[in-house]
Structure 1
Amino acid sequence: MNAAVRVVLVEDHDLLAEAVQAWFEDVPEADVVTRARSIEEARVVVKRLHPDVVVLDRRLPDGDGIGAIRSIKAAAPGVAVLVTTASADHDTVARIDAEGGDGLVLKSNNLDELVTAILRVASPE
């Protein structure tokens, strides 16, 4: 049996983060190993834990998540980064790609779609 995909959730809204974490309790393929509430906290936990995937909110108290993709990837080489946001346009998608992000999940999607995206970027082959 393959090990569960290790996920760090970077989300400053408690309600949303707690709902996502609770959902993942019933997803054997993926495990939310911790949550960060800011970009700086994300860098620290990613460097310490070396997760497989970081689910990164676009808007955080200390900045734009898209602008933090490179530093998060530098903290744990090989980590995949999915950005979550309420809305996105072509420029947002282009910025995520230019910064080295691995994908985008709209917050209007359901949690099954988030799980699918996490599993896809964790095993891109």
Structure 2
Amino acid sequence: MIRVLLADDEAMVRAGVRAILGSDDSIEVVAEAGDGAEAVELVQKHRPDVAVLDIRMPRMDGLAAGAEIRRTAPGTAVVILTTFSEDAYIAKALGDGASGFLLKSGDPRELIAGLKAVAEGAAYLSPKVAQRVIAELGAGTGGGRMARAAAAKDQVDVLSPRELEVLSLVGAGLSNAEIAARLFLVEGTVKAYVSAVLTRLGVKNRVQAAIIAYEAGLVG
């Protein structure tokens, strides 16, 4: 059972997300919070597997709450709920240890899939969110964007063909189990490939690897 804390200052949004998560028997919402500070307190009390946080909340926003949760309860993964109008916030959160970024307006199945991937120790970046993050990170001149793409392609050139396959699937938001099924490998082998990819790319987590995959053109 995946134990989840849900934090959003809008009661109707919380109810909607809770209903979506409640449709899957493997997920249980153990606590709800109306602001970031309360979310941090409830994580300490309930120690959920995943904390799902809205970015904009009173007292403490989702970014600050997520960073505090990662500092004080490292066993709890953080998933950020966002909208298309918050690209800069998403980019900042990359350095704060969040494991997932999902759209409030996205497909309910994506919410469940992303949450499960994060609970399994993977990271999930909604493809639409990833595209916006890349646009934000590459904002500026066309030359700047091309330079980022060129740099990403140089980074992935060190990977083997199989590692490139794995990276492209990480970029698509697949968990280790899903990648294993797609490539007809055992999950332990995929885990070893992912670890090698992160090391060879010089990145800290799968979200950063996913962004490189997008910048290098490995994910459509």
TM-score by length of 1: 0.88
Q: What is the identity, as a one-letter code, of the residue corresponding to 1:43? A: V
Separation in structure 2 between the aligned mates of residue 26 and residue 107 of structure 1, nearest angstrom: 17
Residue in 1 that maps onto 2:34: 37
For 2:13 and 2:36, the matched residues in 1 are separated by: 17
Helix, strand or coil at the partner of 1:109: coil
Which residue among 31, 42, 46 is the counterpart of 1:49? 46
User: Is the aligned partner of 1:98 residue 2:125?
Assistant: no
- 1:12-91 alignment, distance < 5 Å: 12-87=9-84, 88-89=86-87, 91=88
Most deviating of 23-32 and 49-58: 23-32
- Higher RCO, 1 vs 2 (CA within 8 Å, ≥6 residues apart): 1
Is contact 2:52-2:78 (8 Å) kept?
A: yes
For normalisation by structure 2, the TM-score amounts to: 0.52
Q: Which amino acid aligns with 1:92?
A: Y
Cα shift readout 1:40-86 (whole Å, capped 9, x = no counterpart): 10111000111000100000012331122221122322211010011
Q: Percent identity?
A: 34
4+ runs of 1 displaced by more than 3 Å?
none
Q: Distance in 2 between matches of 1:85 and 1:74?
A: 22
Question: Is this contact kept in 2: 1:96–1:103, CA < 8 A?
Answer: no
| Letter of the 2:78 counterpart | V
Q: How far apart, CA to CA, are the structure 1 residues paired with 2:99 and 2:23?
A: 24
Q: 3-state DSSP class of the match of 1:63?
A: coil
Alpha-carbon contact 1:46-1:76 (below 8 Å) kept: yes
Select the structure that is richer in helix: 2
Between the aligned partners of 2:73 and 2:60, the Cα distance in structure 1 is 20
Q: Which has the larger Rg?
A: 2
Tell me the C-alpha RMSD between the 2 structures: 1.4
Equivalent of 2:6, from 6, 9, 18?
9
2:108 is aligned, of 104, 107, 111, to 111
Which range moved further: 16-25 or 39-48? 16-25
**Contact 1:46/1:75 (CA < 8 Å) preserved in 2?**
no
Structure with more of its chain in strand, by fraction: 1
